[in-house]
Amino acid sequence: MSDELHWLGAAEATRAFAARKLSPVELVKGLHARIDTLDPQLNVFIRRDDEAALAAARAAEAEIAAGRIRGPLHGVPVGIKDIIDVAGLPTTCHSRVMPGSNATADAACVARLRQAGAIVMGKLSTHEFAIGGPSHDLPFPPARNPWNRDHHPGGSSSGSGSGLAAGFFPLALGTDTGGSIRNPASACGIVGLKPTYGLVSRRGVFPLAFSLDHVGPMTRSVADNALLLDCLAGHDPADAGSAVAPRAYYAAGLERGVRGLRIGFVRHFHENDLIADPEVAATLDTVAKTFAAEGAEIREVRLPTLGEFAAVNRIILTSEAWSIHAPWLRSRPGDYGKLGRQRLMAGAFLQAGDLVAAQRRRAAMIAEVQTVLRDVDVLLCASSMDPASRIDDEAATARTYPRQARTPFNVTGHPALAMLAGVSSGGLPLSVQFAGRYFDEAMVLRVARAWERAAGTDKRHPPLG
Amino acid sequence: MEALARLAGLDRALAEHREDVIAAFSQASAHRGVMHAPEDPAAEPWPPMQAGTNL
């Protein structure tokens, strides 16, 4: 067991509970103390729910002592991005546009976590409506990066990424429409998985763009990510986009390594479409060489360009988002922050033909990626092209935020995971991304685990004390 | 730009946040300019059309 409670993983915690070496109450109290100390500088939480978390921890402690284990996450704390409904708490979407009324029911993903025994710690910072940020003109301050508080933590699931890296909880939920799970995973050096479109229910999650939205697990280790996905995945007839997929146990094959796998390296993303920071490029080469040394075959592959993926993503995203936000943008534009207002209003200037053209191009892009994935088992590529910029440097943030390779897998719906690949000379996380075939999250997680084991990325934490 | 914004009902935004309306217009134009229109006139959109038995 880790000497420090705040770095305990979910699997480690449940083993400690079962062995009576730790109780859920001790863990939750320990995390509350850490949050008390560090969150005033990190702004991870929009709303803490300390009393409910402690009550749930006491109940879990009694049930575990009596041998009544509710599920694989019994007694494990989890943070929830604040566009996801938690019964009895308001869903603010980090915006003054939203009414302050409490959600009457848990989102499907939260209900699944409670069924597995998890303890909800509170609601976490995001970009306004998962698109407008990082911003300083919203009702709550933006989350900051635990590796260096002067830098942004990525977004839009910014509180989820920052809180995991800071040791506030071992599990968190994020959402990803254009990269919003994988951006904070990259900036904060944790593990963020956007599952296959439709694998995790979106019921009870405030929509950004219906055909691009995904809910997914964010954790500090690959094993915990698989464990969390095991609890989240499954068909929901109340979500129109929910898939009927075969049941998988994502943690089962994690340690199988990469020997014999064919890994497609998408070099043109970071060497031609965008020119990555040299430290990012060198780190990606290290990942590829490590896998080759472990017996994988590395093949260079080509996909459509990042520029076109981004354009298709943005045309669909802003068109769908406009249909949601138009009434508010017309009547109370001043209640939005500047970035959210600008990005959401873009949909007003696209025509019906633009949206249909983007959806037609999307179908062709999906076919192109499917063709490549017939010949390789998994794709290796960049996630962010740069380490996180300073949060107060609006120009640098505006320049570097779009320099990413995450939108392709929102457009196509393939599963994609971003994680720590190294640390820059400036002390900030560098990242790598793996993407796989539809519903083959097990393969993506297996390759991620091989990298984690080789590089020891799950043992690297920010120097917070 | 102004006519399109008024057509979309963004009169208040034009009056109070004109620079943001201009930025939104520029973003939309930029996205449209990068995407390749499908060359095949029969190329269908995603998600696939799947007529069932209960139309």
Three-state DSSP at B12 gives helix
- Check pLDDT > 80 for residue B53: no
Q: Residues A96-142: pLDDT tens digits?
A: 999 888 999 999 999 999 999 999 999 999 999 999 999 999 999 99
The interface pTM score, or ipTM, of the predicted complex is 0.95
- Mean pLDDT of all residues in A427-433: 98
- State the Cα–Cα distance between residues A173 and A232, nearest whole angstrom: 10
Q: Which residues of A are catalytic?
A: 81, 156, 180
Burial, A218: exposed, middle or buried (Cβ in 10 Å; 0-12, 13-18, 19+)? buried
Among A463, A433, A429, residue whose Cα is nearest residue A189: A429
Query: Cα Rg for chain A, rounded, in angstroms?
Result: 20
Burial, B39: exposed, middle or buried (Cβ in 10 Å; 0-12, 13-18, 19+)? exposed
What part of B 11-50 touches A (C-beta under 8 Å)? 11-13, 16-17, 20-21, 23-25, 27-38, 43-48
Helix-, strand-, coil-residue percentages of chain B, each rounded to 5: 55, 0, 45
Min Cα–Cα distance to chain B from A367, Å: 11
- Check pLDDT > 90 for residue A183: yes
- Check pLDDT > 60 for residue A325: yes
Q: Residues A131-155: pLDDT tens digits?
A: 999 999 999 999 999 999 999 999 9
In B, minimum Cα distance to A362 occurs at B46
More confident of the two residues B32 and A275 = A275
- Check pLDDT > 60 for residue A251: yes
Joined tokens for residue A462: 């920010």
- Residue A215 φ/ψ, nearest 5 degrees: -105, 140
- B35/A363 touch (CB, cutoff 8 Å), yes or no: no
- Mean pLDDT of all residues in A381-399: 97
Choose the closest CB to B28 out of A334, A349, A363: A349
Question: Hunting for tokens 């897998």 — which residue is that?
Answer: A409
Number of continuous H segments (helices) and E segments (strands) in chain A: 15, 11
- A361/B35 touch (CB, cutoff 8 Å), yes or no: yes
- A360/B46 touch (CB, cutoff 8 Å), yes or no: yes
- A357/B25 touch (CB, cutoff 8 Å), yes or no: no
> Is-cis flag, bond preceding A462, omega within 30?
no
In B, minimum Cα distance to A323 occurs at B8
Question: Hunting for tokens 């996180």 — which residue is that?
Answer: A388
| CA-to-CA separations, A112 to A118, A181, A205, A277, in angstroms, rounded | 9, 19, 14, 40
> Is-cis flag, bond preceding A170, omega within 30?
no
Pair A21, A1: CB distance under 8 Å: yes
Q: Residues A255-302: pLDDT tens digits?
A: 999 999 999 999 999 999 999 999 999 999 999 999 999 999 999 999
